[in-house]
Each structure stands twice: as C-alpha cells, then as structure tokens.
C-alpha cells in the first residue's frame, strides 16, 4: 500500500542549506527493466515493493481541481535515500538525475520547483514515503516525472528532491512490468551503454539512440575539443537541421578515476564543448542541443583495465522530446 507522509514541520520554512551534486545509477536487467539505486555517500533509508499495483504519476502542477496524474500499472518500487550535505542546491541534485534518466531513454513529462509545483498542496497530494526516512522541506523541493516505452508496456519514474539543514533527500518511485523474479545485478557492471550499432548516426537516432560519438578527441588534461574536423559531428548536425523539432542531449561520460563530483564536472564540460562546436561550426540552433554530464555512472565496459577505462571516457548523443 502507498505510504502516507507525516506532516512534520508543515508551514515552517527552514534556513537555506546546500546539497552536493550526485547522479543516478540505473541497473539494467532483461527481466527487470530498471531497478534504481544511488551511489555512496547516499544511503538507502526506506524501500517498499509491490509486485502488481498501480501508481498515479504526477504530470502537472497542483490546481484546485486536484493533482493531474497518469495511472501506470505494474510493479511499484518506492525508495528513499539520504546523504550528508556538502554544498550545492536541490537543482544540483536533480540535474544529473535527469541527465541519467534521459541517457537511458526516459522522456521527461513534468518538472517543477516548490511554488511552480503547487507548494504545500502538491506535496500532500503526491505519494511520499513517511518521515524521517523521506523529508520534504515545504520551502525547497523539486519534482520530475519521466516515462519510457518498453516491450512490456510503459515504465515510469518520479523523483522528489529536498533537504534539511544537514541532510539531502531523494525519493525515487519506479513503476513498470516485472517479467519474472531477477537478482539485483553487480553494480560494477550496471548501467552499461549500448554497443555501437551499424547504420548512420541519423538512422540510429531516429531509432531512439543513444549514439556514441566515437571520433571525438579532447586536448590532454582538458575538456576542450581539439580543433579538427569530426565526421560524426557533421552527420549529427545534418540530421538535426533536417527537422527543427528534433532535440538531443549531449551526454559526457568518464572512467571511475577520481571523485564523482569531479567526474560529473569534467563530463559536463566536455559535453558543453561538443555542443558549442555544433552551434559555432555547424550552424545547429542552440535550442536543439543541451549538454549534460553523468561522470562514471554509466560505464559501457569494466573500469578494471586501461582499455575498459578508455572506452568509458566518451560522449554520447541522446534524442530527447521536443
């Protein structure tokens, strides 16, 4: 049964606090489309699982008539995570989570921040795990809902991000079909990106992507793209300019050397460098391209060998909704 939130601290605005940048690990398995977890220093505080149920996915801000939702049926998993705060904001928490979802084929349906969500009314109309495992500051929270299609039907994710004076909180609700019971895969092999497929970049993007831009080269020790021609960028630009409604996210990835925060920063900077090249050299409109970075959270190979680490340092292009 859905958990009912405890209304502790309602109406009391806490002093502004800072949170640390993090990112989402999506664990792929053929029999369990997407389990959800967060890497250290996040710690799982609560989790409930219902094999066959339904979830009302929020898809709009609260209005006096109620909270707009879309009902999704399937296995429902609700998880709450906590971590000590080190700096940043609730937006810093949400941004890499959204990038990771988009990199795995989810289409954002709705995103809001506190008042644009509907404030107090949204918070208490939404399905939220109880305190103290999941705390929602009524003056500072963010929400995102996303959807992707699978052979077994739609799969939905909702993210609710907030904080207290010393702790960051994330609630993740996932609903989708569970084909059969399946063990949780080894995290060291999780979130692997698809191997490159035959066909042009445009063909693969039209099929849903993502596509690795294999021919990119960055200056040593830098996030700056080397000044040379890149056929993959030319092909991507041509595909984008055919249809002004097309949108893509450029997503940077790193190997597992160093801290998560540092790798997210580097991966985002490299994606931004690729985006800038598409705009300045190839004439792609700014509105068609965004840049994100997920650090080492979506490897396509092992990080235990140099060859594997080299393959994990890459930039992908992911088609997104207009």
Residues 204-219 pLDDT 10s: 888 776 788 988 988 7
Percent of the chain with pLDDT over 90: 28
pLDDT of residue 199: 62
77 pLDDT above the threshold of 50: yes
Residues 6+ apart with CB under 8 A from 229: none
Q: Tell me what the mean pLDDT of segment 241-261 comes to.
A: 89
Residue range 263-306, pLDDT digits in tens: 889 999 999 999 999 999 999 999 999 999 888 888 888 888 88
- The angle that helices 260-282 and 231-242 make with each other, rounded to 10 degrees, is 70
Q: Encoding tokens for residue 259? A: 């801290």
- CATH superfamily of the 192-320 domain: OmpA-like domain (3.30.1330.60)
Three-class DSSP category at 177: coil
Give the CA count within 13 Å in the CB-facing half-sphere of 318. Answer: 28
Lowest mean pLDDT, pick from 245-249, 298-302, 309-313: 298-302
Name all contacts of 60-67 with Cβ < 8 Å and 24+ positions apart: 60/110, 61/112, 61/116, 61/117, 61/118, 61/122, 62/117, 62/118, 62/119, 62/121, 62/122, 62/125, 63/118, 66/125, 67/118, 67/121, 67/122, 67/125, 67/126
- Topology match between the domains 25-179 and 192-320: no
Residue range 168-199, pLDDT digits in tens: 899 999 998 653 333 333 333 334 444 444 46
pLDDT of residue 296: 86
Lowest mean pLDDT, pick from 75-79, 200-204, 293-297: 200-204
Percent of the chain with pLDDT over 70: 80
pTM over 0.75: no
**pLDDT higher at 156 or 31:** 156
pLDDT of residue 5: 35
Lowest mean pLDDT, pick from 1-10, 28-37, 294-303: 1-10
252 pLDDT above the threshold of 50: yes
12 pLDDT above the threshold of 50: no
pLDDT of residue 260: 85
242 pLDDT above the threshold of 50: yes
Instruction: Tell me the C-alpha distance between 320 and 322, whole Å.
Output: 7
Instruction: Tell me the C-alpha distance between 61 and 306, whole Å.
Output: 47
Assign domain 25-179 to a CATH class.
alpha beta
pLDDT of residue 279: 94
pLDDT of residue 48: 92
Residue range 89-113, pLDDT digits in tens: 888 888 888 887 888 888 898 999 9
**pLDDT higher at 154 or 36:** 154
The residues spanned by each domain of the chain are 25-179, 192-320
């Amino acid at each position: 049964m859905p958990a009912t939130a405890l209304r502790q601290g309602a109406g009391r605005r806490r002093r502004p606090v800072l949170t640390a940048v993090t990112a989402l690990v999506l664990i792929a398995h053929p029999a369990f489309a997407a389990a959800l977890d967060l890497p250290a220093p996040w710690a799982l505080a609560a989790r409930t699982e219902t094999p066959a149920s339904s979830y009302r996915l929020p898809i709009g801000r609260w209005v006096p008539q109620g909270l707009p939702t879309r009902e999704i049926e399937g296995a429902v998993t609700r998880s709450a995570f906590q971590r000590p705060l080190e700096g940043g904001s609730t937006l810093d928490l949400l941004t890499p989570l959204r990038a990771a979802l988009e990199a795995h084929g989810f289409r954002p349906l709705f995103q809001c921040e506190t008042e644009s969500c509907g404030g107090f009314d949204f918070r208490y109309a939404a399905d939220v795990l109880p305190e103290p495992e999941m705390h929602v500051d009524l003056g500072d929270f963010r929400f995102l809902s996303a959807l992707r299609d699978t052979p077994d039907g739609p799969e939905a994710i909702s993210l609710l991000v907030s904080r207290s004076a010393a702790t960051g909180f994330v609630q993740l609700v996932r609903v989708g079909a569970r084909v059969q019971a399946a063990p949780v895969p080894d995290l060291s092999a999780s979130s692997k990106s698809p191997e490159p497929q035959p066909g042009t970049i445009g063909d693969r993007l039209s099929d849903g992507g993502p596509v690795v831009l294999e021919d990119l080269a960055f200056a040593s020790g830098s996030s700056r793209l080397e000044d040379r021609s890149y056929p993959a960028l030319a092909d991507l630009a041509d595909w984008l300019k055919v249809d002004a409604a097309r949108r893509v996210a450029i997503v940077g990835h790193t190997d597992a050397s160093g801290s998560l925060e540092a790798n997210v920063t580097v991966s985002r900077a490299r994606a931004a460098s690729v985006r800038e090249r598409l705009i300045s050299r190839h004439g792609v409109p700014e509105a068609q391209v965004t840049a994100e970075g997920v650090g080492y959270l979506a490897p396509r190979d092992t990080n235990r060998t140099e060859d594997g680490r080299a393959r994990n340092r890459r930039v992908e292009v992911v088609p997104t909704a207009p």
